């Protein structure tokens, strides 16, 4: 199954699960109380995401100031964006997942796992010689070759 198919299936199952759970909770504590809980978790979670997002931003800036690449902090910041999205989605399943990921240690663990997943799938190739000149490059030199084609914008805007 393709990524899009798996994603669609996940959204479908999650939506039905959320709807079922919301109905069950509303039957037990009332619709108004259920709505209040959804709003409360969104507001509290949003405040926590904002606070931790600012902390992550500070951590990224400090790492850059020390000359370090803040890859783990960047992935953690991306997870915070996902957490914010989960908290905007009404329901208790997404809120529970979001609040678990708001625990800094669990989020760092998830970020490390994602980073490892991406590192396995990304290949970086470095060259010590220029392909056309055949000469050795100084490690401080950066050579970027780009092939591009100019596109006539008049043909693409319907004129």
Q: Quick one: average pLDDT of 59-80?
A: 93
Residues of the chain with pLDDT > 70, as a percent, come to 77
Q: Say if residues 93 and 14 touch (Cβ distance below 8 Å).
A: yes
Note whether residue 157 is domain-resident. Answer: no
Mean pLDDT, rounded, for 135-142: 56
In a domain, 77, yes or no: yes
User: Does residue 53 lie in a domain region?
Assistant: yes
| Host domain of residue 67 | 3-123
Distance (Å, rounded) from C-alpha 45 to C-alpha 87? 7
Among candidates 83, 79, 88, 80, which has minimal Cα distance to 18? 88
* In a domain? residue 51: yes
Per-residue DSSP letter, 136: B
Q: pLDDT-based confidence at 137, cuts 50/70/90?
A: low
Could you tell me if residue 147 is inside a domain? no
pLDDT, averaged across the chain: 84
The answer to whether residue 37 is domain-embedded is yes
Q: DSSP label at 106?
A: H
In a domain, residue 132? The reply is no
How far is residue 112 from each of residues 42, 71, 105, 138, measured CA to CA in Å?
26, 9, 10, 33
Going by the DSSP 8-state scheme, the letter that residue 129 receives in this structure is B
Query: 3-state class of 27 per DSSP?
Result: helix
Report yes or no on 30 lying in a domain: yes
Domain count, the chain: 1
Q: Quick check: 94 and 14 in contact, CB under 8 A?
A: yes
Residue 117's pLDDT is 86
């Amino acid at each position: 199954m393709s990524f899009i198919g798996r994603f669609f299936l996940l959204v479908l199952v999650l939506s039905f699960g959320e709807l079922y759970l919301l109905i069950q909770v509303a039957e037990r504590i009332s619709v108004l109380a259920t709505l209040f809980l959804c709003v409360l978790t969104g507001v509290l979670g949003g405040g926590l995401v904002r606070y931790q997002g600012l902390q992550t931003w500070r951590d990224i800036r400090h790492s850059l100031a020390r000359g370090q690449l803040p890859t783990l902090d960047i992935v953690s910041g991306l997870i915070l964006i996902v957490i914010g999205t989960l908290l905007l989605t009404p329901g208790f399943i997404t809120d529970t997942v979001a609040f678990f990921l708001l625990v800094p240690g669990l989020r760092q663990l998830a970020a490390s796992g994602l980073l490892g997943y991406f590192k396995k799938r990304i290949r970086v190739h470095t060259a010590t010689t220029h392909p056309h000149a055949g000469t050795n490059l100084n490690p401080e030199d950066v050579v970027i070759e780009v092939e591009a084609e100019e596109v006539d914008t008049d043909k693409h805007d319907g004129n």
